[in-house]
Amino acid sequence: MIKRKNGFTFIELLIYVALIALLMGGAIIFLWDVVYLKDSTMEQNNLTYNELYTLGKGIYVSSNKNEVQDFMDAMYSPDIILTDRSTEDSFNIKLENSEIRSAWELDRPNLESRYLLIDLTAASLTSTGESLVRTHLGNSKDEFITISEIYLEWFNVSENINATEIIVNGNTVWSGSAPSGTTIDITDVVVPPDVTSELNRIDFDSNLHGGNIIMEMIMSDGSRVRGEFDLLTQSGEGGIAPTPCSEWCMERGYPYGLCKQNPSQCIQSGGEWGGEEGDVYCTGGPLEDTCCCIY
């Protein structure tokens, strides 16, 4: 009787090797997927962290800084831009790259337009109707503000009328020919905080009697103040309403009145002190307790 040896045939060995290779291949693929998933999860977590960190930092910085450059410097990113969605009251800033997309609004609390006062109570057309005279400009801020452009528009009169000259504080700040609806680039007009400035004249090449004129003072920061004058009734509406001091002075024949700190400032503003009787109408504190009647 022939005794058979125990062992594997060549075919069986091939099958076992194939099965082991298949199992090891599956295990390797599984382990690779686990490692890759871990790396991709960590990468996604890092992106999420960076997004949340940038958004949170932007919110904090925007609540403490109002200037665009200060905000950009604090965020320290080359991908921050000032968008065209900014308004007169706020800046719109956007950060966008392959990883993050965020936007913030920065308030603009120090707009110069919030401090410019346009007083049209003494304004009028000359007898020829070709000049608007005696528009007064004030500044309620404690530092200088600057007017860099003036927008002019008139209606209910001939369409062929042009503005020809603008004079402020006795100086010609622009001359030329500009139709209605033009923004005029003038020589900068600096309005000091303690002296009333006067827009002496806006000259035209024809009669504007019976129409209306709109003018907007455009400040150096781009903000605007609007004033409108009715050329038929000779009444205007500007940046400030008549005050009790102004009404008191007007009752005594003056064009208007302003509240100042002391009688000497009345003279500096081109007027005179109305006396203690008028001071009772100035209740803005020690810096505005003197009623000055302006010539």
The tens digit of pLDDT for each residue in 126-182 reads: 877 888 888 889 888 888 999 999 999 998 888 899 999 999 988 999 999 999 999
Instruction: With a cut of 60, say whether residue 2 has pLDDT above it.
Output: no
Give the pLDDT confidence score for residue 238 in this predicted structure.
47
DSSP 6: P
Give CA–CA dist 130/148, Å, rounded. Answer: 24
According to the model, what pLDDT value does residue 66 have? 58
Task: Say whether pTM exceeds 0.85.
Answer: no
More confident residue, 232 or 260: 260
- pLDDT for residue 146: 94
Structure confidence at residue 180 (pLDDT): 93
Give the pLDDT band (50/70/90) at residue 115: confident
Within 13 Å, how many C-alpha atoms sit on residue 41's CB side?
A: 6
235 vs 17, which has greater pLDDT?
A: 17
Give the alpha-carbon dihedral of 71, 76, 78, 79, to 10 degrees. -60
Q: Is the pLDDT of residue 94 over 90?
A: no
Lowest mean pLDDT among 15-29, 30-44, 158-172, 218-232: 30-44
**Strands, E assignment, the chain:** 80-82, 90-96, 101-107, 116-119, 124-125, 131-139, 145-155, 162-168, 171-179, 182-191, 197-204, 212-219, 224-230, 235-237, 256-260, 271-273, 290-294
Geometric angle at alpha carbon 212, from 208 and 216, rounded to 5°: 110
Ordered domains of the chain (ranges, CATH): 12-107 (no CATH), 112-241 (2.60.40), 242-295 (no CATH)
Q: What is the dihedral of CA 281, 285, 286, 287, to 10 degrees?
A: -90
Q: How many other C-beta atoms are found inside a 10 Å radius of the C-beta of residue 260?
A: 26
pLDDT of residue 134: 84
pLDDT of the residue at 254: 77
Q: Which residues pair with 202 in a beta bridge?
A: 132, 166
Residue 290: the pLDDT is: 86
Residue 120, both tokens: 């049209």
**Residue 35 identity:** V
Write the pLDDT tens digit of every residue in 57-71. 666 666 666 566 776
